[in-house]
Amino acid sequence: PILLKCAGSPHIYLLQDGQKRWIDTIATFTERGYVWRDVQLISCDNLRAVPDGEPIPADAGPPPQP
């Protein structure tokens, strides 16, 4: 998986099909088998430029912006 976050934000996103999908909690992150070493830091401007996809889980509500 491609996991992204920017230094100015605590939120982590899964990059999937050209969209960023917000992972709502650390519990969701770990339950899905993701690990911290796979999270890549990118600039907040670049992360904001990626279109929003459906959050994880789908009923998590609107994704926060980095």
Does the model's pTM come out above 0.75? Answer: yes
Q: What is the mean pLDDT of the chain?
A: 96
Amino acid code (one letter) for 63: P
Amino acid code (one letter) for 2: I
Which pLDDT does position 17 carry in this prediction? 97
Question: What is the pairing mode between strands 12-16 and 2-5?
Answer: antiparallel
The Cα–Cα gap between 49 and 31 comes to 28
Which pLDDT does position 11 carry in this prediction? 96
Mean pLDDT computed over 22-46: 97
